[in-house]
C-alpha cells in the first residue's frame, strides 16, 4: 500500500487531526489527516483509494477498539474529528460522482430527547465507512423522518434515545416509518434499548455500539 495512505490510516486510528493538533502527544508537530489527505489527492491518488484504503480501515480499527473497550468516547471523538478533516477533501468527489457512496443513512435522536453524543458517534462512524449521512439532529418527530425518507427512498434510518421516557416516542416513530414504507430498514440504539425492545417495536436491528451499526449497513449494501 502507498506509504501516504498508511500514514492517513494511522492518523484516523489515533485521532491526529492536523499539524496543529497536540493529540496524540507522540504525533505532536506532525502532519495530520487534513494535510496528508490533501497531499495524497495532490499527488494524484484517486479519492476512492483514500476512502477505501485509508479512511475506512482507520475507522474500522477505531470501531473495533471501542467495541472491545480498548478506547473510550474521548479517543473515538478525536478519531472522528480526524476522519471529518480528511472527508472535507473527499466530499467534492462524491458530489461530482467521481466517488460512489455505499448508500444513504438518515439518523436522529427521537422526539423529546436532546442527547446527541451517541448519535454523533454513530453518524461519524457510518460516514467514515463510506455512507452518505443525513443527520436530522435531536428531538426529531416522525414527520421529519418520513420527509427525509421521501427525499431519499432507498435509505436506511437510525433512531437514538437515551431517556427511558422517550422510548415510547421511538416506538411510535418506528411504526410511523414502517407504515409509510415497510421496505425502509430501521436501526435503533441508545442506553435504555436492547435487542428484545427492538423486536417488540418492529425495528430491524439494534446495536449497542457504532461498529455494529456499520456492520449491519455494510451487509445491506452487499445484498
Check whether 186 has a pLDDT greater than 80.
yes
The pTM assigned to this predicted structure is: 0.82
Check whether 22 has a pLDDT greater than 80.
yes
Q: pLDDT per residue over 25-48, tens digit each?
A: 999 999 999 999 999 999 999 999
What pLDDT band is residue 12 in, cutting at 50, 70 and 90? very high
What pLDDT band is residue 118 in, cutting at 50, 70 and 90? confident
The beta-strand segments (E) located in the chain are: 104-109, 132-135, 156-160, 185-189, 205-206
What pLDDT band is residue 63 in, cutting at 50, 70 and 90? confident
CA-wise closest residue to 184 among 100, 104, 101, 102: 104
Provide Rg for the chain, Cα atoms.
18
What pLDDT band is residue 99 in, cutting at 50, 70 and 90? confident
Please measure the distance between the N-terminal and C-terminal CA atoms of the chain and give it in whole angstroms: 28
Q: Which three cell numbers stand for residue 5?
A: 495512505
Residue-range domains of the chain with CATH:
3-96 (1.10.1240.10), 104-222 (3.40.50.280)
The more confident residue out of 77 and 110 is 110
Beta carbons of 203 and 145 less than 8 angstroms apart: no
The more confident residue out of 124 and 183 is 183
Beta carbons of 163 and 192 less than 8 angstroms apart: yes
What pLDDT band is residue 222 in, cutting at 50, 70 and 90? low
Mean pLDDT across 144-173: 96
Beta carbons of 167 and 182 less than 8 angstroms apart: no
Check whether 121 has a pLDDT greater than 70.
yes
Q: Would you state the pLDDT for residue 223?
A: 53
Mean pLDDT across 98-108: 91
Q: Would you state the pLDDT for residue 164?
A: 94
Mean pLDDT across 161-180: 96
Rounded percentage of the chain residues whose pLDDT exceeds 90 = 78
Residue recorded with cell 480499527: 61
For residue 30, the 8-state DSSP code is: S
Q: Which three cell numbers stand for residue 52?
A: 477505501
The more confident residue out of 102 and 223 is 102
Q: Which residues of 127-137 are buried (b: 16+ CB within 10 A; e: fewer)?
A: bbbbbbbbbbe
Q: Is 179 helix (H, G, I), strand (E, B) or coil?
A: helix
* Cβ neighbours for 144, distance < 8 A, ≥ 6 positions apart: 108, 136
Q: Is 156 helix (H, G, I), strand (E, B) or coil?
A: strand
What pLDDT band is residue 129 in, cutting at 50, 70 and 90? confident
Mean pLDDT of the chain: 93
Beta carbons of 16 and 32 less than 8 angstroms apart: yes
Amino acid at each position: 500500500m502507498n506509504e501516504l495512505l498508511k500514514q492517513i490510516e494511522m492518523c484516523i486510528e489515533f485521532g491526529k487531526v492536523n499539524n496543529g493538533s497536540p493529540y496524540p502527544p507522540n504525533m505532536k508537530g506532525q502532519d495530520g489527516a487534513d494535510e496528508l489527505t490533501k497531499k495524497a489527492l495532490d499527488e494524484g491518488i484517486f479519492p476512492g483509494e483514500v476512502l477505501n484504503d485509508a479512511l475506512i480501515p482507520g475507522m474500522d480499527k477505531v470501531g473495533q477498539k471501542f467495541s472491545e473497550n480498548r478506547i473510550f468516547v474521548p479517543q473515538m471523538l478525536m478519531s472522528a474529528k480526524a476522519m471529518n478533516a480528511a472527508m472535507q477533501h473527499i466530499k467534492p468527489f462524491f458530489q461530482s460522482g467521481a466517488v460512489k457512496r455505499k448508500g444513504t443513512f438518515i439518523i436522529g435522536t427521537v422526539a423529546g430527547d436532546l442527547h446527541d453524543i451517541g448519535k454523533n458517534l454513530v453518524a461519524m462512524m457510518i460516514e467514515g465507512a463510506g455512507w452518505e449521512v443525513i443527520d436530522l439532529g435531536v428531538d426529531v418527530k416522525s414527520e421529519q423522518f418520513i420527509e427525509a425518507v421521501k427525499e431519499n427512498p432507498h435509505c436506511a434510518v437510525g433512531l437514538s434515545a437515551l431517556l427511558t421516557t422517550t422510548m415510547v416516542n421511538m416506538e411510535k416513530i418506528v411504526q410511523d416509518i414502517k407504515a409509510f414504507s415497510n421496505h425502509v430498514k430501521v436501526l435503533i440504539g441508545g442506553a435504555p434499548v436492547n435487542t428484545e425492545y427492538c423486536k417488540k417495536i418492529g425495528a430491524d436491528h439494534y446495536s449497542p455500539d457504532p461498529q455494529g451499526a456499520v456492520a449491519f449497513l455494510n451487509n445491506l449494501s452487499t445484498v
